[in-house]
Amino acid sequence: MKRIFFSLQALAILIGAAGCHDALLNMKPESILTTTNYFRSSSEMNKAVIGIYSNLQARRMTDYIIMDAPSDNLYMSTNTPIAGAVDLDGLTMNTENNVLGNFWESNYAGIYRANQVLLNIDKPKDYAGNAKNQYIGEAKFLRALLYFDMVRTFGGVPLVTAQVSIEEARAQRRASVDEVYNLIIADLKDAVEKLPPAANMEKGRTSKGAATALLGKVYIYRKDYNNAKEVLNKAVNDFGYNLVPNFATLWDPATEDNSETVFAVKYVESVNGQTLSTAFIPNGGVYGIVERGVETALPSWSLNKRYVAGDTRKAKTITDWLVTPTAPNDPPTFYPYVSKYANKHLYNTSGLDLPVMRFAEVLLLQSEALYHSGDKGGALTALNRVRERAFAGTSHNYTATDIANANDFLDKLLLERQLELAFEGDRWYDLVRTGKYLTVMTQEERLYVPANNAAETVTLSPQSYMTVFPIPQRQADQYDPGVMDQNEGYKK
């Protein structure tokens, strides 16, 4: 009996299978590109490069939680809690930190995209002009930038430059800090080589000048001042960068592409906007800016009080008096909020670009390089260029006596970096690379009450191991036993 059924089944197969079978089982996707049919033309390679920028664009708007909140610039508001952010703010982060986990994962996704461009770069045969070199340069610049953020945040990390299988990835140990920097420097040198100048690039993409400036910044972190000096002098002189006369110009979507832009992440309101502008706005919104805010974080008094009268940067960095959209005619309330990114925008989708590097920072880096390579006069000049713009004149310039010794210089430089680059993602790393966080971060003044003439102050406990943050446990768990070493101080 059984035989009959099997032969019946065979019959059915014969009847139906001939035409149907393969067509039903081996369907091709109509609306989806796949790895098998991509990376075939210069245009597709261009789109793949855009994909790397897209990764950075999504990450950049929450960088402040890692790069500013742990420092004395910013504290997290209770209005919209973000898991893990309060711990970074209070220097109590542990291995479960969600923000660090997201940061780690996002960066590797971007690195993968850059690697894919570099691994497939030879496939297209239709490159016109310098296109191939440009794509290589962009991919390497972005890969270097992502690894730079990784090494500054976590120390040595697994160094991936090829496509790795799951098994290979699980067995890959952390590279040393030096090894990571070696790749960053090699990538940036090649990017400087291959990238065209900014004039030949679309706004929002990198350029030879941007790669040069970033390389200079990396040398500063390496304390390789001679190389830093050489590279940063080029960055200052060779690419036509200049400070804009008015600090506020930098933070207006209408003038966001200007002579000071070295590399900024582009956003377009409503269709490809960022959430940072709204994140810093108080819950009830700000008149003329946005109807309501998310208020994830507020500026600390520690930073606020350091702006002296006459500093034009203050108004475009922190606004003390809040005017709400619902009661614009009422007297303003004292409620300081970060206004650097506050321009009229649609809720949670601002078009204001977020700078990664701008010329003011290049000058401050140059000042640092020059000071440490013996050119104290040059260092002073570079530092004062930034101050002159801030104070609309030379009235607040430093003199040689102000930077009589290295400690003075460091204090002045860090102050200037803090005031100039507040909320741009440098303060925490600056405090760490100079070791200052151990003293500066013992306490933070937060909410100031004018009627009481006092700020509410929190006491913090910075520890020596906090130069790097913990490796996210959820990622460490993915590795073969014993492969992923946790950073000192965070071990269970």
Partner 1 sequence: MKGRHLYLFGLLVALAGICSTRPAYAQDAHEIKGIVVDSIGQTPLPGVTIVVKGTSNGAATAPTGEFSIRAASNAVLVVSYIGYDRTEVPVGGRTNIRITLSQSKTMLNETVVIGYGAMKKSSVTAAVTKVENTILDQVPAGRPEAALVGRLAGVNISQNRAQPGQAPTIRIRGASSIDAGNEPLVVIDGVPGGNLGMINMNDVQSIEVLKDASSAAIYGSRAAGGVIIVTMKKGSAGKTRFNFNGFAGISKSRLHDDWMTGQEYYDYAVKFQNREWRWANPNADISIPVWGDARRPATYQVNPVLNNGANVIWQDEVMQTAPMQSYNISASGGTEKMTYYVSGTYKDEIGTMKNTWFKSYGVRANVDVKASKAVSIGFMLNPSYSKRRMTDRVMSDFAKIPSFVEVQRPDGTYPRPKDYWGGPVSSQTSPSAILNGTYSYGATFSNVGEAYLKVDLAKGLSLRSSVGSTIAYNNSDFFQTSYALSNFQNNGNDISTSNINMLNENVLSYNTSFRGGHDLSAIAGASYQKNRSKGSYMYAVPNSFVNETIHTLNNAVIDPTKSYTANSAWGLVSYFSRVHYGYKEKYLLSASIRTDGSSRFGANNKWGYFPSASVAWRIKQEDFMKDLHVVSDLKVRGSWGITGNFNIGDFQYLGQIKDAIYSPNNTPIKGQAQSNFENNDLGWEKTRGWDVGIEIGLLKNRIQIVADYYSKRTYDLLYQVTVPASTGFVSGLSNIGDVSNRGFEIELTTRNILQPDFTWQTNFNLAMNKNRVEDLGGVKERISTDGTTQMSWILRVGEPMFSYYGYRTIGVFNDAASLGKYPSLAGTKPGNPIFEDTNGDGFITPADKQLLGNFQPKAILGMVNNFTYRNFDLSIAMQASLGAKMFTYENQFYQGALLGAMRRSIVANQWWSDSETGDGRMPGSALSTLTRQSGSDIYIEDASFLAVRNINLGYTLPDAAFKRLGINSFRAYLSAGNPFIFTKKGFHGYNPEGSTLGEIGGVNSRPGYNSGSEPISRVYAIGFNFNF
Question: Is there binding between residue 65 and partner 1 (CB under 8 A)?
Answer: no
Whole-Å CA distances, 247 to 235, 255, 265, 313, 361: 21, 11, 19, 6, 13
Contact letters for partner 1, residues 202-231 (x by CB under 8 A): xxxx--------------------------
> With left for phi above 0 and alpha for psi between -120 and 50, is residue 348 left, alpha or beta?
left
Question: Is there binding between residue 329 and partner 1 (CB under 8 A)?
Answer: no
Give 446: exposed, middle or buried? Use CB within 10 Å, 0-12, 13-18, 19+: buried
Binder among 330, 402, 408, 488 for partner 1 (CB under 8 A):
330
Alpha helices in 38-125, H assignment, sequence order: 42-60, 64-67, 85-89, 98-120
Among candidates 78, 85, 213, which has minimal Cα distance to 145?
213
Binder among 478, 486, 489, 491 for partner 1 (CB under 8 A):
478
- Binding range to partner 1, per CB under 8 A, among 227-235, 346-354, 355-363, 373-381: 346-354
Binder among 18, 32, 128, 309 for partner 1 (CB under 8 A):
32
Binder among 118, 177, 410, 447 for partner 1 (CB under 8 A):
447
Name which of residues 84 to 113 contact partner 1 (CB under 8 A): 86, 90, 92, 94-96, 98, 104-105, 108-109, 111-113
Name which of residues 292 to 311 contact partner 1 (CB under 8 A): 292
Q: Taking the CA atoms of the chain, what radius of gyration do you get in angstroms?
A: 26
In the complex, least distance from residue 100 CB atom to partner 1, rounded to whole angstroms:
12
Question: Is there binding between residue 169 and partner 1 (CB under 8 A)?
Answer: yes
Question: Is there binding between residue 405 and partner 1 (CB under 8 A)?
Answer: no
- Binding range to partner 1, per CB under 8 A, among 12-20, 222-230, 406-414, 418-426: 12-20
In the complex, least distance from residue 23 CB atom to partner 1, rounded to whole angstroms:
7
- The gap between the terminal CA atoms of the chain, to the nearest Å, is 66
> Of 4 and 407, which CB lies nearer to partner 1 in the complex structure?
4
Question: Is there binding between residue 62 and partner 1 (CB under 8 A)?
Answer: no
Question: Is there binding between residue 38 and partner 1 (CB under 8 A)?
Answer: yes
> Of 100 and 440, which CB lies nearer to partner 1 in the complex structure?
100
Tokens of 82: 């973000």
Q: CA–CA separation, 307 vs 129, rounded Å?
A: 49
Among candidates 178, 175, 145, which has minimal Cα distance to 157?
175
Among candidates 62, 149, 67, which has minimal Cα distance to 421?
67
Q: CA–CA separation, 154 vs 66, rounded Å?
A: 11
Binder among 334, 406, 463, 486 for partner 1 (CB under 8 A):
334
Question: Is there binding between residue 119 and partner 1 (CB under 8 A)?
Answer: no
